């Protein structure tokens, strides 16, 4: 099997934290024996200009390398262009969240760009031979006319060898965190409006008013290899997003047995349901603060690792391989929202 992955997010020396949720599955597929070429369109560094003449460039690359299928790892304008250009072999598109859900934006132009991106995603979904979404909520966001027999729900996998419980005191020492305080980790760039950093700050302020002594840390710009240390140093993870697909950091935190407090977003409720020490809270400071207090009061790790055992990189790569085979053999396709 030979796949060409087209993506606008991939780690580079300049931006090492960009797109690990694309790079890690690519390496897993390669380990499983799939030949994978990557066309990286460096959106972080080149802006929207990276899409210029994409169709022409892609046709030339496909003609030269002759992959069995093209896998577009994110929706939006990029996926629209790829599905429009490549018609002689299957195109699979994976949608991750904002590409189908849009959400909040800083300013009118940014909001318009998000709407244009969603419209482009819907056009790409209509053309694609197959579609992967990372959560049931994204399946529901697809156009109703889409044939669900060609849609698969496949959450991103977790590197269980890398993301595992580590000694908290040692991780805090490495990061220079005060061991006498509670440490809450906000796992997103604070400048992205849909992540609602100000809501997290307001919740922490209420927790701190009670004299508990907590610090809020931001996981932004951290190389993926260092993320396990940050997760294991934290007393709890706090997620306040307006929307998500299937946030990888939640599954990574579960693999590290770190408590999670989150608003009801993406598939987080399903992931943490029944895990003692994890809580879903209403999107207001008071309820989030109360849930954080309960998580911090426990003062211990959770039993989350077993909840992500079925999302190992190896198992997820095997599922994607099956999808590749289905699309290239012209056989039966996806299994819809129940998969």
Domain with residue 198: its CATH number is 3.40.50.2000
**CA–CA gap between residue 302 and residue 236 (Å, rounded):** 10
Count the domains in the chain: 2
What digits encode the pLDDT tens for the residues 220-267? 989 889 999 999 999 999 999 998 888 999 999 999 999 999 999 989
Output the pLDDT for position 13.
82
- Of the listed ranges 272-281, 294-303, 321-330, the one predicted with least confidence: 294-303
What digits encode the pLDDT tens for the residues 7-43? 998 888 888 778 888 999 999 999 999 999 999 998 7
Domain assignment present for 75: yes
Co-location of 9 and 133 in the same domain: yes
Co-location of 102 and 228 in the same domain: no
Domain assignment present for 163: no
Task: Look at residue 179 and tell me whether its pLDDT is greater than 90.
Answer: yes
204: containing domain: 168-309
Co-location of 251 and 317 in the same domain: no
What digits encode the pLDDT tens for the residues 47-88? 778 888 999 999 999 999 999 999 999 999 999 999 999 999
Co-location of 181 and 202 in the same domain: yes
Output the pLDDT for position 99.
85
Co-location of 12 and 111 in the same domain: yes
In the chain, what percentage of residues exceed pLDDT 90? Answer: 73
Output the pLDDT for position 15.
81
In the chain, what percentage of residues exceed pLDDT 70? Answer: 95
Tokens of 72: 């577009």
Helix axes 77-85, 108-127, angle to 10 degrees: 30
Output the pLDDT for position 335.
36
Output the pLDDT for position 333.
38
Domain assignment present for 243: yes
**CA–CA gap between residue 229 and residue 226 (Å, rounded):** 6
Supply the DSSP symbol for 16: T
Tokens of 42: 């460096």
Domain assignment present for 29: yes
Domain assignment present for 162: no
Output the pLDDT for position 67.
97
Co-location of 288 and 143 in the same domain: no
Co-location of 109 and 121 in the same domain: yes
Co-location of 103 and 250 in the same domain: no
**CA–CA gap between residue 79 and residue 150 (Å, rounded):** 16
Q: What is the mean pLDDT of residues 119-128?
A: 95
Output the pLDDT for position 105.
62
What digits encode the pLDDT tens for the residues 88-114? 999 999 998 888 887 766 677 777 777
Co-location of 78 and 10 in the same domain: yes
Output the pLDDT for position 100.
87
Domain assignment present for 28: yes
Average pLDDT, the chain: 90
Partnered with residue 218 across adjacent β-strands are 186
Output the pLDDT for position 336.
37
Checking DSSP bridges between strand 2-7 and strand 91-95, what pairing results, if any?
Answer: unpaired
Co-location of 74 and 198 in the same domain: no
Q: How confident is the model at residue 330 (pLDDT cuts 50, 70, 90)?
A: low
Co-location of 117 and 43 in the same domain: yes
Phi, psi of 94, deg, nearest 5: -105, 125
Co-location of 139 and 221 in the same domain: no
């Amino acid at each position: 099997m030979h796949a060409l992955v087209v993506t606008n997010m991939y780690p580079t020396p300049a931006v090492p934290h960009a797109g690990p949720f694309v790079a890690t599955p690519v390496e897993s597929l390669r380990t499983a024996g799939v030949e994978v070429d990557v066309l990286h369109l460096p959106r972080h560094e080149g802006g929207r200009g990276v899409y210029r003449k994409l169709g022409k460039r892609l046709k030339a690359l496909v003609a030269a390398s002759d992959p069995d299928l093209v896998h577009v790892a994110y929706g939006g304008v990029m996926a629209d262009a790829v599905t429009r250009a490549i018609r002689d072999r299957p195109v699979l598109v994976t949608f991750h969240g904002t590409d189908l859900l849009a959400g909040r934006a800083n300013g009118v132009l940014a909001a318009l760009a998000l709407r244009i991106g969603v419209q482009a995603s819907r056009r790409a979904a209509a053309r694609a031979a197959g579609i992967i979404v990372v959560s049931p909520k994204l399946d529901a966001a697809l156009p109703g006319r889409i044939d669900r027999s060609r849609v698969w729900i496949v959450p991103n996998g977790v590197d269980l060898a890398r993301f595992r419980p580590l000694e908290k005191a040692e991780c805090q020492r490495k990061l220079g965190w005060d061991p006498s305080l509670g440490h809450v980790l906000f796992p997103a760039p604070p400048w992205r409006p849909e992540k609602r950093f100000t809501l997290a700050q307001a919740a922490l302020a209420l927790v701190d008013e009670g004299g508990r002594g907590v610090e809020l840390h931001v996981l932004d710009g951290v190389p993926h290899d260092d993320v396990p240390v940050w997760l294991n140093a934290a007393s709890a993870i706090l997620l306040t997003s307006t929307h998500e697909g299937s946030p990888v950091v939640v599954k990574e935190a579960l693999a590290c047995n770190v408590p999670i407090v989150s608003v009801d977003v993406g598939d987080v409720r399903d992931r943490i349901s029944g895990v003692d020490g994890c809580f879903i809270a209403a999107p207001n400071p008071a309820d989030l603060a109360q849930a954080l207090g309960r998580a911090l009061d426990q003062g211990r790790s959770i039993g989350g690792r077993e909840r992500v055992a079925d999302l190992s990189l190896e198992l997820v790569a095997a599922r994607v391989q099956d999808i590749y085979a289905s699309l290239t053999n012209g056989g039966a396709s996806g299994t819809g929202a129940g998969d």
